């Protein structure tokens, strides 16, 4: 039965699954895991935040760590 409540806020973050917990906390988990080197450098596959904007910022921080490891640092 559809109660009209979505468990995924819109818009979603490309490449990440976004989940809204029953407590109202937002979580994002990367669909494709980071490489071992990216993980070892500190890139976290799952992050959380209070707002979608904060979640997007946290996801970008993780992607930035990965880019530095792979030599694709943001210019």
Number of helices and strands in the chain (H, E): 2, 3
Q: Is residue 74 part of a domain?
A: no
Q: Residue 65: which residues within 8 A CB-CB, separation 6 or more?
A: 38, 41, 42, 43
The long-range contacts involving 20-25, CB below 8 angstroms and separated by at least 24 positions, are 25/49, 25/50
Q: Is residue 49 part of a domain?
A: yes
Supply 6's token pair: 């979505």
Q: Is residue 2 part of a domain?
A: no
Q: Is residue 39 part of a domain?
A: yes
Q: Is residue 1 part of a domain?
A: no
Q: Is residue 10 part of a domain?
A: no
**Total structural domains in the chain?**
1
pTM beyond 0.85? no
Q: Is residue 8 part of a domain?
A: no
Tell me the pLDDT tens digit for each residue of 10-47: 558 999 999 999 999 999 999 999 999 999 999 999 99
């Amino acid at each position: 039965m559809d109660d009209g409540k979505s468990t995924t806020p819109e818009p979603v973050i490309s490449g990440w699954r976004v989940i809204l917990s029953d407590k109202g906390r937002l979580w994002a988990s990367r669909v494709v895991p980071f490489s071992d080197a990216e993980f070892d450098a500190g890139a976290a596959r799952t992050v959380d935040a209070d707002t979608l904007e904060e979640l997007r910022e946290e996801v970008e921080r993780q992607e930035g760590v990965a880019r530095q490891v792979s030599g694709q640092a943001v210019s």
